[in-house]
């Protein structure tokens, strides 16, 4: 009995386990930003803007995440992960509270942009902290766990947000997310702190990096990094970059356009819209373990091709869905696809790029994808206003088909045999 108690105490006080639990708790809470999704149609009616303009809340969030990437790099390289975890959560809480109180839609967009940037800093901080905390042979499972726990938040968020929006109003969803971010502040304070080991660059180097000459050097540097990839794998890398772009496009389009389509065309309530996203999130969570087995044991392409081909089919069918059951079935399919995409494209990219440049080439792939995440809801909002909320799904479907075809026929299978 004494040995059992001692063992339990050791597990409970283990610094690695305690640190991961703290990071996972913050990851769950960060995904709760999705509470604002069911309120997108309500925003249009409240502020007197068109449904397409109201959907730009998702554009602002995506743009904020894009802006947050270089900010997170600066914070992590100079201050460490704890500064990112605490600073990101404080900024998220304050911006969300102000968004809940603002009477102007334009200011709300600006505040949601800040929320997106803060969430991006927050996300990068916990990822780096988790990588540094775990052993080398545990990193894959740790990052997969982050994806899974984050998707639980993305699944629960719309459901709770829909209930709050319907019962109280859309502002309640912003207040609830602010509360989640506020709870994450003390979690960030006790989370493990990974401090950079190198000294900051001299001011002259920083000025050169941000000048016109520095821009040319960075562009030529990217070309040099690309040339480090083995010639027979360069086309595979390009295809993986395009697949990541289309993956971001279909995710943000679903988040911004499906609430408009479901409410304006089918008359769904915010609670019903939130339930649709929760169904998708449930299937994402269920697919985490099977996806890992497929990626590591069967083949990378057995995960990457369906993860883009299934969304193409869903986008073609959404405009013809006329009931909750039909949309729920499509969301379940989308959840399977998103579950297969967790880590499969990133893992394939790590197989392709050389170890000497994998960080920068992965960052380049993600940056291009973030541009798609910003542009897709922006163009989708225009198409929704000019035509209908169903048109963006049909407009983007060919790109998803092309992505699946390129992954299947041009991209190489990179799983070592």
- Look at residues 192, 226, 247 and tell me which one is the last residue of a structural domain: 192
* Residue 206 included in any domain: no
Q: Report residue 1's pLDDT band, with 50, 70 and 90 as the boundaries.
A: very low
CA–CA distance, 164 with 246 (Å, rounded to integer): 32
Tell me if 262 sits within 8 A of 327, measured CB to CB: yes
pLDDT above 60 (res 25) = yes
Q: In this structure, are 21 and 147 located in the same domain?
A: yes
- Look at residues 127, 157, 192 and tell me which one is the last residue of a structural domain: 192
Q: What integer pLDDT is reported at residue 30 of this predicted model?
A: 83
pTM for the full predicted model: 0.67
Q: Report residue 329's pLDDT band, with 50, 70 and 90 as the boundaries.
A: very high
Average pLDDT over residues 115-132: 80
Q: Report residue 200's pLDDT band, with 50, 70 and 90 as the boundaries.
A: very low
Q: What integer pLDDT is reported at residue 330 of this predicted model?
A: 92
- State both tokens at 102: 């603002």
Range from 43-52, 240-249, 275-284, 394-403 carrying the lowest mean pLDDT: 43-52
Give, in order, the Cα–Cα distances in Å from 132 to each of 137, 148, 191, 361, 363: 12, 19, 12, 20, 18
Over residues 72-99, the pLDDT tens digits come to 767 776 777 888 888 888 999 999 999 9
Range from 320-324, 366-370, 391-395 carrying the lowest mean pLDDT: 366-370
User: Measuring CA to CA, which residue among 58, 284, 278 is closest to residue 149?
Assistant: 284
Element (H, E) at 335: helix 324-341
Q: Report residue 5's pLDDT band, with 50, 70 and 90 as the boundaries.
A: very low
Q: In this structure, are 163 and 272 located in the same domain?
A: no
Q: In this structure, are 377 and 235 located in the same domain?
A: yes
- Look at residues 164, 192, 220 and tell me which one is the last residue of a structural domain: 192
CA–CA distance, 340 with 404 (Å, rounded to integer): 13
**% of the chain residues with pLDDT over 90:** 16
* Residue 414 included in any domain: yes
* Residue 129 included in any domain: yes
Average pLDDT over residues 101-107: 90
* Residue 369 included in any domain: yes
Q: In this structure, are 53 and 118 located in the same domain?
A: yes
* Residue 155 included in any domain: yes
Q: What integer pLDDT is reported at residue 197 of this predicted model?
A: 52
* Residue 200 included in any domain: no
Q: What integer pLDDT is reported at residue 112 of this predicted model?
A: 92
Identify the domain containing residue 159 by its residue range. 15-192
Average pLDDT over residues 151-157: 80
312-318 LR contacts (CB < 8 Å, sep 24+): 312/397, 312/400, 312/401, 312/403, 312/404, 315/250, 315/253, 315/393, 315/394, 315/396, 315/397, 315/400, 316/393, 316/394, 316/397, 318/258, 318/261, 318/390, 318/393
Q: In this structure, are 172 and 282 located in the same domain?
A: no
Could you tell me the CATH number of the domain that includes residue 301? 1.20.1250.20
Q: What integer pLDDT is reported at residue 39 of this predicted model?
A: 83
Average pLDDT over residues 43-61: 81
- State both tokens at 2: 């004494």
Q: In this structure, are 118 and 256 located in the same domain?
A: no
> Does residue 406 or residue 43 have the better pLDDT?
406
Q: In this structure, are 123 and 246 located in the same domain?
A: no
* Residue 334 included in any domain: yes
Q: What integer pLDDT is reported at residue 251 of this predicted model?
A: 84
Q: In this structure, are 294 and 403 located in the same domain?
A: yes
Q: What integer pLDDT is reported at residue 15 of this predicted model?
A: 67
Q: What integer pLDDT is reported at residue 270 of this predicted model?
A: 82
* Residue 119 included in any domain: yes
CA–CA distance, 137 with 145 (Å, rounded to integer): 14
Count of domains in the chain? 2
Q: In this structure, are 240 and 188 located in the same domain?
A: no
Q: In this structure, are 220 and 139 located in the same domain?
A: no
Q: In this structure, are 100 and 182 located in the same domain?
A: yes
Over residues 333-360, the pLDDT tens digits come to 998 888 887 667 777 877 787 766 655 6
Range from 6-15, 246-255, 379-388 carrying the lowest mean pLDDT: 6-15
pLDDT above 90 (res 402) = yes
Tell me if 373 sits within 8 A of 246, measured CB to CB: no
Q: Report residue 204's pLDDT band, with 50, 70 and 90 as the boundaries.
A: very low
Q: In this structure, are 188 and 226 located in the same domain?
A: no
Average pLDDT over residues 251-265: 83
Q: Which of 4-8, 162-166, 253-257, 393-397 has the highest mean pLDDT?
A: 393-397
pLDDT above 50 (res 146) = yes
How is residue 295 annotated by DSSP?
I
Tell me if 263 sits within 8 A of 276, measured CB to CB: no
């Amino acid at each position: 009995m004494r040995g059992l108690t001692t063992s339990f105490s050791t597990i409970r006080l283990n610094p690695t386990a305690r640190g991961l639990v703290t990071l996972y708790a913050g990851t769950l809470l960060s995904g709760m930003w999705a509470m604002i999704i069911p309120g997108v149609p309500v925003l249009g009616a409240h502020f007197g803007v068109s449904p397409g303009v109201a959907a730009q809340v998702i554009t602002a969030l995506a743009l904020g995440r894009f802006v947050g990437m270089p900010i997170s790099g600066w914070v992590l390289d100079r201050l460490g992960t704890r500064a990112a975890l605490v600073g990101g959560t404080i900024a998220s809480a304050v911006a969300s509270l102000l968004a809940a109180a603002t009477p102007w839609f334009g200011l709300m967009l600006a505040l949601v942009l800040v929320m997106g940037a803060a969430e991006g800093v927050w996300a990068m901080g916990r990822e780096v902290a988790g990588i540094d905390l775990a052993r080398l042979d545990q990193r894959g499972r740790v990052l997969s766990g982050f994806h899974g726990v984050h998707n639980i938040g993305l699944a629960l968020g719309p459901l709770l947000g829909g209930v709050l929006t319907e019962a109280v109003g859309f502002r309640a969803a912003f207040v609830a997310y602010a509360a989640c971010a506020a709870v994450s502040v003390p979690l960030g304070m006790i989370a493990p702190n990974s401090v950079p080991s190198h000294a900051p660059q001299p001011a002259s180097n920083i000025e050169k990096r941000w000048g016109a000459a520095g821009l040319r050097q960075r562009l030529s540097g990217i070309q040099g990094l690309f040339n480090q990839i083995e010639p027979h794998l360069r086309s595979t890398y390009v295809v993986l970059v395009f697949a990541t772009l289309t993956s971001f496009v279909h995710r943000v389009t679903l988040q911004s356009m499906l609430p408009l389509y479901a409410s304006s065309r089918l008359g769904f309530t915010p609670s019903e819209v939130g339930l649709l996203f929760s169904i998708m999130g449930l299937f994402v969570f269920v697919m985490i373990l099977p996806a890992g087995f497929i990626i590591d044991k069967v083949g990378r392409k057995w995960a990457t091709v369906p993860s883009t081909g299934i969304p193409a089919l869903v986008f073609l069918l959404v405009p013809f869905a006329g009931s909750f059951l039909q949309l729920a079935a499509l969301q379940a399919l989308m959840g399977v696809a998103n579950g297969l995409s967790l880590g499969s494209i990133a893992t394939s990219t790590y197989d392709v790029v050389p170890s000497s440049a994998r960080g920068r080439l992965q960052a380049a792939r993600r940056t291009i994808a973030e541009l798609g995440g910003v542009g897709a809801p922006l163009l989708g909002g225009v198409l929704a206003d000019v035509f209908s909320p169903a048109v963006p799904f049909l407009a983007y479907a060919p790109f998803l088909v092309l992505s699946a075809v390129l992954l299947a026929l041009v991209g190489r299978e990179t799983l070592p045999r």
